Structure 1
Amino acid sequence: MKPGYFSLVLHAHLPYVRHEEEHRLEERWVYEAISETYIPILWQVDRLKRPLNWTVSISPPVVEMLADPLVQDRYVAHLDEMLELIALELSGERSEAEVGTLHFYERRYQDLKNTFLHWDKNLNQAFRTYREHGYIDMVTCTATHGFNPHLFTDQAARTEIRSGLNCFERHYGFRPTGIWLPECAYTPGVDRILYEEGVRYTFVDEHALLDADPTPSKGIGAPVYSPHGVALFPRDQIISGKIWSSMIGYPGHPDYREFYRDLAYDRDWDYIQSFMHPEGIRFDTGLKMHRITGDTDEKDYYVRDWAEHQIANHATDFAETLEAHLEAHGAQTFPPFLVTAPFDAELFGHWWFEGPEFLGQVAERLEQFGIETITPALFLERHFQDLETVHVSMNTWGRKGYGDVWINERNEWMLRHLHMMETQLVKDVADYRGTSPLADRALKQLIRHYVLAVSSDWAFILDGQTTAQYAADRFREHTRLFAELETALYENKLTDEVLDAHFRAYPFLQDEDLEVDTFLSPHDYYVTKEREAEADAILVLTPEYTGNVVGGLGQRVVEEVEARAKQGETMYVLTPYKEGLLEYERHDNVHVYRVRLTSPFLEHVMNQVAAQNVGYVKLVHELVNAVRFKAVHHFDWMTIPAARSLAKSLAVPLYSTMLSFETTRNPHGHGGLFDAIHRIENSVLAEADTVYVGADVSIDELASRYAVKDNVTNCLSLDASPYKQNV
């Protein structure tokens, strides 16, 4: 075998365009994908009948539409109509070249129908069978191809991921460990959710690794681990460009079929009318009679034998190019050089008509050349110990490499609606979950409306201005249905009939695929799912709380909190938000909230302290709806205002830990700031039940500068709880 590996990944995706009413033009997208891409790819797998190590990603909208009896029956009717049109064409006077092309289509459409009926009209069965035979591997995508960098909440990102995995597992009988992130769009933090949902690898564009920190030593010749342990497989653009590039790619060869010329526009309306839309709209039939020919408007007829000759030539050229590329990197070991080639599946067959046959012949050439193909899953089994961990910034494989396609002047208006729906779902699930069977069903339907709205396809279509009106209408329809159902939930007007009607409009995903609890906020999840007979909690306010601080206040706070938690106390820690850390996290009995400032950056330190304390108070007023606090414990002077206020309003004891005072930190201090801090520190000495001071602080010296009472004492050892005496 040659050094290195080749990994082909095909991503099959369409937006969910299933409609109850007939003659929707968008539903033809499904027919085209089945006829030109999905079945032709299956033909190649069936022809070769051996492990190809291709990875096929199939998105939930495609899975659901392939399984839908209405779509299945309409596709059979579509095939029959195509065969009828071909028969009509053959009945007329046609040139020898036309007749040859028509006979090719006649055989092809009959084969399409035979294959479709062989699999009982459900191509999911075909893909599943070939995967179970070991011919291909399969992964899936998020529920509706939502563009994850623009999702506002972790809950929405998790719902898209988990619902997609649930849907795929229901149809395919297993839960994949790989996932295709829509638009290959990675953003820091999504890897944590992926890992928690059992996903171990995904795909990114090559610049994600080239711009990573640190730059991987293997470049794009190997995947890397994200900080949360998800392997990121990069696209190799040099090899992929041989196929998709408009400049150097194979699909532009003059002998291949011309995509943009269709029979519907070459025939008189009276002749073709019965095969067109009832409202008098012309659309592509799929009978494209011409070849590319060259850079000219005059196109010659398609000759299948010529196209097949070029397929063979290009398959050989691709194998030779790949061989040279791998040999150029043959010195790489641990792991060997890997070429990852991810594509939209519809490129093969739909956009490049001969593409599926090209893939089949490439598979044969690679075997002849001794080039090993490998799936990402198998690569990780062999080389999981050889990968580096790096930090990757937000990136996509779209125009300019970032989010330009999915947020611009044509589609940015969508985001405010999507973000509103996300935050409303978090609120609605917290308020209504478990209140009644109808409410739970309504919450799942609200999630269904949301995920249908969040599809990246709508923004993509608006950016390209292809079927822009349809994309905008679909988006607005899902937001409207969401608002209507949410109103019915609020006004207690839910009925089975109302919910049935909402589902019938777009019967995407089953209720078992949708988990209401994924839209619980982390704290609401804890309260509703895990908090039972929990003891009253201790509220801790501190300007520092991170586990990697050594010495000083930060270390003392962490040690104090962890010691109390081990003794059975439930600890709620409020501390300032820091970039890169979670706003909420829980470790056993310790709940940590990182609180953002209630106003933009304020230059004066006292204004910043005041804003931070306001944030503490506001959050606690929300927490007391679910948590009962038995004491407030604050650290350092910067948390005193909120601690004093909360202890009074909650009517609980106040404990203070002051490892140092302004006069001990700055014995020669003077001025307005010094005096202000001194006054704040004095106030807690007067109001706290107990004030614990550091070992370096002399209480006698403190008494000469502060109004010290008998409530001041040195810090207890960590083995002794400060709360037992008064709480």
Structure 2
Amino acid sequence: MFCLVLHSHLPWLANHGRWPVGEEWLYQSWAATYLPVTAVLRRLAAEGRTRLLTLGVTPVLAAQLDDPHCLNGMHHWLGNWQLRAHEAAGMPSASHRDLGAREHRASAAALDVFETRWRHGGSAVLRELIDAETIELLGGPLAHPFQPLLDPRLRAFSLSEGLADAEARWGHTPAGIWAPECGYTPGMEIGYAAAGVSHFMVDGPALRGDTTAGRPVWDSDVVAFGRDLEVSYRVWSPKTGYPGHAAYRDFHTYDHDTGLKPARVTGRTVPSEKKAPYDPELAAVAVDQHVADFVDTVRRRLRSESERIGGPALVVAAFDTELFGHWWHEGPQWLEQVLRALPEAGIEIGTLADARARGYVGAPVELQDSSWGSGKDWRVWAGDQVQDLVQLNAEVVQTALDTIDKDRDANHHGFEGDPELRKRVHDQMLRETLLTVSSDWAFMVSKDSAAGYARDRAHKHAHALREIADAVASGRDEVARRLADGWNAADGLFPALDARRLPVRSAETAAFAGSTQ
């Protein structure tokens, strides 16, 4: 059996800059990936095809796809794309006219899909696919924290709130999750079980390379599925993969007059100014070749692994969804053809839930610290380059939890068992804390990808948390409310987040908090 798993995620970008980093990142991914990939799935669903793939959508991305500011910004972005295409089509050179015509067709199609299906939010688009059983939805914790480094109380809160967010958006609570960065440390399976999570993703090396079945983790019934690197890296790896083919559209080369992308890859060492013009027909031939190659790769892998273990094997390939369209322009086209070609080749495809239901579960594994980052350990999120962020995260989390705990104790004057009233100030403190500890900031610093933006974002949310907490701790309740309202106006995501559901402090969590300082 073959399972394709896609992980859809971007950090919270609304109202935090536009170019070169900020909302532009969201709108590019929306236009190039989320619109065409969901269109592919709708077309296949219309043919009666079900259980095609497992799609992870993080709560923070889902929030942006439903956010009125982002929806309005996306509509403007698509209109601007069409205007740029008009500009190119009116230029004197034939290459610009061809580019403009092609981009005009693409932008017009994107605008039509957005205005007819997306204009009032992404939840309805995804719910249609969930309800039709086209996909299995994977959830995740709020704001995408690197969970192994997170205080257990906040880890549990973030996960339970993330699953509740999915239920509110789609009328569906995911049974499986994509753990942010596939990060794991022993004991997390206990929290997963408590939250109702039955399965999650890890990278292949975490299962010592044997990914032919899901594995119950330690003594739990929670199953870890591992990414098959031999198959996954055929498509995309740190060094190679299909998107680097000479015929595909080059991601990095822009026409500076219009901001459009006119060139094909041509060659890895060819400078931008010498790259050949993009030719969709050449790219289509390459897509056909890579579809055939992938089907053959999956078939050979299934056969070899089945022979090795003496029974039916499972192969799981997993990727960031944004690879398909945003980073690799032809990715959605390849995806649609692969999802047709695999069954035609006699290969059974399904979701992770299908794999578990059909018995692709092996012996328990004593899973150790791991991730899908560099080295398959935690260095990207806990290494020397990001020690300042590690310390910032620990301080911010401790400040938030201590302040909320003390304020709860000081203000609960009712009888035992009286309900605790909701406190929006506490909600905003946790909202800013979760935005501070997003795994994206450390990733961007470690990979030197807009590192300054990442550090600025982490410190901005940390500042918001600190000034609200300081007002609460000093008894300036009106100031705290005003500050919380102001920061919530800037970042009003997750309105259902409720600090009353934060687990109470125990001796175990207190010990963890002390160990992280």
Normalising by the residue count of structure 1, what TM-score does the alignment of the two structures yield?
0.65
**Residues 381 and 34 of structure 1: is their aligned pair in 2 closer, same or farther, counting only changes over 3 Å?**
same
Aligned pair partner of 1:291 in 257, 261, 264 = 264
Give CA-to-partner distance per residue, 1:372-410, whole Å, 9 cap, x none: 1111111112217x5311211101111111011112333
2:403 corresponds to 1:428: yes
Amino acid at match of 1:233: F
Q: CA deviation at 1:24?
A: 8.0
Instruction: Show the counterpart of 1:640.
Output: none
Q: 1-side partners of 2:228 and 2:242: how far apart? A: 17
Q: CA deviation at 1:70?
A: 0.9
Q: Is the 8 A contact 1:246 1:252 kept in 2?
A: no
Q: Is the 8 A contact 1:65 1:71 kept in 2?
A: yes
Q: Is the 8 A contact 1:142 1:164 kept in 2?
A: yes
Q: CA deviation at 1:489?
A: 1.0
Q: Is the 8 A contact 1:98 1:301 kept in 2?
A: no
**Residues 73 and 325 of structure 1: is their aligned pair in 2 closer, same or farther, counting only changes over 3 Å?**
same
2:29 corresponds to 1:44: no
Q: CA deviation at 1:472?
A: 1.0
**Residues 480 and 253 of structure 1: is their aligned pair in 2 closer, same or farther, counting only changes over 3 Å?**
same
Secondary structure, aligned partner of 2:382: coil
Instruction: Show the counterpart of 1:474.
Output: 457
Instruction: Show the counterpart of 1:148.
Output: 147
Instruction: Show the counterpart of 1:697.
Output: none
Q: 1-side partners of 2:33 and 2:512: how far apart? A: 51
Instruction: Show the counterpart of 2:116.
Output: 118
Instruction: Show the counterpart of 1:680.
Output: none
2:223 corresponds to 1:223: no
Q: CA deviation at 1:335?
A: 6.8
Q: Which structure is higher in helix share?
A: 2
2:224 corresponds to 1:232: yes
Give CA-to-partner distance per residue, 1:27-72, whole Å, 9 cap, x none: 0011011011111101211222221421110111111111011111
Instruction: Show the counterpart of 2:344.
Output: 368
Aligned pair partner of 1:16 in 12, 17, 38 = 12
Q: Is the 8 A contact 2:214 2:356 kept in 1?
A: no
Q: CA deviation at 1:363?
A: 0.7
Q: Is the 8 A contact 2:118 2:125 kept in 1?
A: no
Q: Is the 8 A contact 1:311 1:354 kept in 2?
A: yes
Which shows bigger deviation, 361-370 or 99-108?
99-108
**Residues 119 and 494 of structure 1: is their aligned pair in 2 closer, same or farther, counting only changes over 3 Å?**
farther
Amino acid at match of 2:202: V
Instruction: Show the counterpart of 1:77.
Output: 76
**Residues 106 and 596 of structure 1: is their aligned pair in 2 closer, same or farther, counting only changes over 3 Å?**
closer
Report 1:97-136 matches (<5 A). 97-121=95-119, 122-136=121-135
Q: 2-side partners of 1:177 and 1:78: how far apart? A: 35
Give CA-to-partner distance per residue, 1:339-384, whole Å, 9 cap, x none: 1111111111111111111111001111110101111111112217
Instruction: Show the counterpart of 1:398.
Output: 373
Secondary structure, aligned partner of 1:479: helix
2:356 corresponds to 1:380: yes
Instruction: Show the counterpart of 1:610.
Output: none
Instruction: Show the counterpart of 1:417.
Output: 392
Per chain length, whose mean CA-contact separation is higher, i.e. which structure has more relative contact order (CA < 8 Å, sep 6+)?
Answer: 2
Amino acid at match of 2:182: C
Q: Is the 8 A contact 1:101 1:304 kept in 2?
A: no
Instruction: Show the counterpart of 2:305.
Output: 329
Secondary structure, aligned partner of 2:386: coil
2:471 corresponds to 1:488: yes
Instruction: Show the counterpart of 1:619.
Output: none
2:487 corresponds to 1:502: yes
Amino acid at match of 1:402: D
Structure possessing the higher radius of gyration over alpha carbons: 1
Report 1:591-630 matches (<5 A). none
Q: Is the 8 A contact 2:129 2:135 kept in 1?
A: yes
Give CA-to-partner distance per residue, 1:495-530, whole Å, 9 cap, x none: 3443321211211211x233433242136xxxxxxx
**Residues 491 and 24 of structure 1: is their aligned pair in 2 closer, same or farther, counting only changes over 3 Å?**
farther
Q: 2-side partners of 1:494 and 1:130: how far apart? A: 45
Instruction: Show the counterpart of 1:312.
Output: 288
2:509 corresponds to 1:518: no
Q: 1-side partners of 2:461 and 2:348: how far apart? A: 46
**Residues 486 and 334 of structure 1: is their aligned pair in 2 closer, same or farther, counting only changes over 3 Å?**
farther
Amino acid at match of 2:372: W
Q: Cα RMSD between the aligned structures? A: 2.5
Instruction: Show the counterpart of 1:245.
Output: 237
Amino acid at match of 2:71: Q
Secondary structure, aligned partner of 2:200: strand
Give CA-to-partner distance per residue, 1:653-686, whole Å, 9 cap, x none: xxxxxxxxxxxxxxxxxxxxxxxxxxxxxxxxxx
Q: Is the 8 A contact 1:221 1:339 kept in 2?
A: yes
**Residues 439 and 52 of structure 1: is their aligned pair in 2 closer, same or farther, counting only changes over 3 Å?**
closer
Instruction: Show the counterpart of 2:416.
Output: none
Amino acid at match of 1:499: A
Instruction: Show the counterpart of 2:415.
Output: none
Aligned pair partner of 2:444 in 429, 454, 461 = 461
Secondary structure, aligned partner of 1:39: helix
Aligned pair partner of 1:201 in 199, 202, 206 = 199
Give CA-to-partner distance per residue, 1:401-441, whole Å, 9 cap, x none: 10111123331112222212323333333322272788822
Q: 1-side partners of 2:19 and 2:300: how far apart? A: 50
**Residues 595 and 18 of structure 1: is their aligned pair in 2 closer, same or farther, counting only changes over 3 Å?**
closer
Q: Is the 8 A contact 1:432 1:440 kept in 2?
A: no
Q: 1-side partners of 2:157 and 2:332: how far apart? A: 33
Normalising by the residue count of structure 2, what TM-score does the alignment of the two structures yield?
0.91
Q: CA deviation at 1:261?
A: 0.2
List alignment gaps of at least 5 residues for structure 1: 212-218, 273-284, 524-582, 585-592, 599-727
**Residues 263 and 595 of structure 1: is their aligned pair in 2 closer, same or farther, counting only changes over 3 Å?**
closer
Aligned pairs, number:
497
Q: Is the 8 A contact 2:200 2:224 kept in 1?
A: yes
**Residues 594 and 82 of structure 1: is their aligned pair in 2 closer, same or farther, counting only changes over 3 Å?**
closer
Secondary structure, aligned partner of 1:263: coil
Amino acid at match of 1:481: A
List alignment gaps of at least 5 residues for structure 2: 413-419
Instruction: Show the counterpart of 2:87.
Output: 88
Q: 2-side partners of 1:118 and 1:89: how far apart? A: 26
Q: CA deviation at 1:246?
A: 5.7
Q: Is the 8 A contact 1:334 1:383 kept in 2?
A: no
Instruction: Show the counterpart of 1:445.
Output: 428
Amino acid at match of 1:157: R
- Between the aligned residues of both structures, percent identity stands at 27
Instruction: Show the counterpart of 2:175.
Output: 177
Which shows bigger deviation, 322-331 or 366-375?
322-331
Q: Is the 8 A contact 2:16 2:23 kept in 1?
A: no
